[in-house]
Structure 1
Amino acid sequence: MSDESLVVAREGQAGTLLMNRPKALNALDLAMIRGFQAALDAWSGDPAVKLAILEGAGGKAFCAGGDVRAVRDAAIAGDRAPVRAFFSEEYAVNQGIADFPKPWVSLIDGVCMGGGIGLAIHNGPRVVTEHALLAMPETAIALFPDVGTSYILPRLPGAIGTWLALTGARMRGADNVHCGFATHYVTRDKLPALRAALLETGDAAVVERFAETPPEASFAPHRGAIDRCFGQPTVLGIVHALEADGSEWALAQLAILRRMSPTSLCVSLELLRRAAKLDLPGALAEELHLTEGVVHGHPDFREGVRSVLVDKDGAPRWTPATLEEVDPAAVQALFR
């Protein structure tokens, strides 16, 4: 196996990309992001490349997200340049994938979170196996749904996108087709044959030959409650709706929300409301602006990453500590 963090190749009629940091669950670093940009630039106008195939190495993960520990380190050091470079170049790749004039086939087998979803969601087909696990867990580290998902999430059915964004709910296997993260469900044992067919034909439509009808969504019994509760206009409104529902599921969602950064929950909901009225470039621009205030100007991001990824104590000390204490004007001030 190559020691490159992103292995880029030409195979058959496809350009292939293998995210190759298995020990880090293929988390994105700046070198990988720049490798993606170079591939997009090289393949967009190359008639020999009929499609792109994206995979993750190691068998455990597609891509667990961006390297937010490095972002936190730079923020603590007061070094804005690498933070700006990471997010601006990552978001440019997200836009580039959306604009790529050929199929961008993501074979998602294992963990795919945050930045990994941003590499798949803006083009397709997006294939998941029974071992796929997708989530947008940003509120746990006091970030917000980024990589263009602020544009995608409000456009998922009902209030599913808001539920996924605020709770970081894990979507396993076929659930990803039902929620809108994925387009096709293919079992792991069929991936090698699917990949070979894509290389041979250069035709993304061959995915249909391998796809299966997904089983019913595990969240289907809660669809009404998701729309009713997470369709509220404010985070406190969502909390009150879940309290009023009172079901075991609703109380579990409530407990999850109470663990997240209160400021991040409010920022994330406001971002989704705004991005619902924007195009993808507009949403990415809003996200990039938000990174400045959230990463550098608010203590919760550094505290969230510390709690989840550095000390791993699961005991963040949020500022402010509760949703009731969040100042709406302070949230609005973070936006453009």
Structure 2
Amino acid sequence: MKAKIIKKTDIASFLDKLIEDYEAFAPVEMDGLISFEKVSSSSEALLDYPNSKMPPKQLLFPQSETLFSYSSTKDTGELEVPSGPEKPRLIFSIRPCDAMSFTLLDKVFGGDFKDPYYLNRRANTVLVSIGCTTPRASCFCNSVGGGPFSTEGSDLLLIDIGDEYVVQIVSDKGAKLLDKKGFEDTGKEKLDLAAGVIKTAEASMGPGVKTEGLKEKLDSIFDDPVWQQLTEKCLGCGICTYLCPTCHCFDIVDETIGSGGERVRLWDSCQFPLFTLQASGANPRPTGKERFRQRMMHKFSYLLDSCDQIGCVGCGRCITECPVNLDIRQVLNSIAQLESVK
């Protein structure tokens, strides 16, 4: 592990120095809710927090964004594409599960059909994550390839060892941040402390989800009537998809404004009836059963085919915020216990 040490009393000045060079975002509490917002001072940022209600996904993949605008006269027309952020961006105090979510979005938006809007923001953003010493009961990152101190997607990882943070250097982008003063070399004693913190946090997590063989099981029960039973509690409200750091479905609409207009991309959800409604009136997912099945299949089967990665980071937001207490872990473990259909 390549790492440095910084005293907790110095972390505020470190962030303030970064704010001078970066457009900085961090978890902020407003009206009792924690969300990632732009900060102008370290005093606004939270380091000791369970997790934000909304993931920081919208910083790279906004809930609504103009792709281009146009104007026209009788003889001419103009097209304008919005420019990206002028300053490099910093997302500070992000949890490892949310940092890991960007590794999937990188594959989705950087695949065969590259999305310049997302990719430009991503290339211009550095992530400083803070490990979870006390994972919540709803967390199951350890079941889906992550962990409370996973470095996937991060550039730096802060590990709380008491009065100091061990700062694990994950990438060259992260290493450049340590040019700021306040860091000391770490020794074996501090690294051993960090290893102990990580081990304790991992041991505190529950059994989570059985993902071994889950894709094959899902593929085999696509037409099984069990989906009707599994989806009985679901309201189809879509909150699980809107609060999910990896869900990325969107719609595109053209809005006319006088002699011009703009093309806008908006988040959408596979849980909504209109998502697959065709102009003819046909809908391949006419009921909640098909839409619920789509969410499970996409996250735990289809994305493994297209991106070689599960579409879930185990953040637990869909569990804590579901209005009918539908726990995805129970659903998946119920599926794992089913007999495969040949």
- Structure number with the higher strand fraction is 2
- Structure number with the higher helix fraction is 1
Query: Which of these two proteins has the greater Rg computed from alpha carbons?
Result: 2
Q: For CA contacts below 8 A with separation 6 or more, give which structure has more relative contact order.
A: 2
Q: TM-score, normalised by structure 1?
A: 0.34
